[in-house]
Amino acid sequence: MSAQRLHPHPLHPGTTVVPWDSGQPERVAVDGPAREVMTDLRRVKAVTTVAGATLDSAHQRMIHTSVRLLLVLDRNDTVAGLITATDLLGEKPMAVAAREHISHDQLRVEHIMTPASEIQVMDLREVEQARVADVVAALRESGRQHALVSEQDARGRHAVCGVFSLKQIGRQLGARLEPTGIAQSVAELEHLIHH
């Protein structure tokens, strides 16, 4: 390949920065494919922490990466748990500190994370057949803000490959969604969104 001469020039007045592309459409419909509202961890790097991290460092990581959920990995890069902003900022840290008889600054992610044994995941094959409304209904039924999606490879190994966030889905639908109640149908969800 021959050398190409580049011709630098002054920055044009009014130049902006290209908006970040999450790989997801800005707007979706409730009856659209669920995959449209899933953060695909093949395209977006998962934000992680370790069990021994301080709560402050986990919170700062969330702030700096603009996420509200961190996957907690062990030494083998296996999912050991997850921690959310609600876990960090709610009553859980104070309750655990009182129960364990330790000070708040001694708390680590492992003290308040949801351990892997308690995490429910959605199967990617089912997600590929689902609609946005189905995901919202599942999140609301579980009372959770987030859901993980996993897949199994040909060797039988499982991997987290996606994340659903009720807040993000709400932005994409143009509505504020709360993790309470059960949306029974697309019509009910549309009513919830428009009123």
Place of tokens 């409304």: 133
CATH 3.40.50.300, applies to 34-194: no
pTM for the model:
0.79
Task: Give residue 5's pLDDT.
Answer: 82
Q: At what angle do helices 132-142 and 166-173 cross, to 10 degrees?
A: 140
First to last CA, the chain: 60
- Torsion sign, CA atoms 125, 129, 131, 135: negative
Domain chopping of the chain, boundaries: 34-194
Q: What is the pLDDT along the chain (195 residues), one digit of tens a residue?
A: 777 887 777 877 876 676 655 566 678 888 999 999 999 999 999 999 999 999 999 999 999 999 999 999 999 999 999 999 999 999 999 999 999 999 999 999 999 999 999 999 999 999 999 999 999 999 988 888 999 999 988 888 899 999 999 999 999 998 878 776 655 455 666 655 555
The DSSP element (H or E) to which 191 belongs, if any, is: helix 186-194
Task: Give residue 179's pLDDT.
Answer: 73
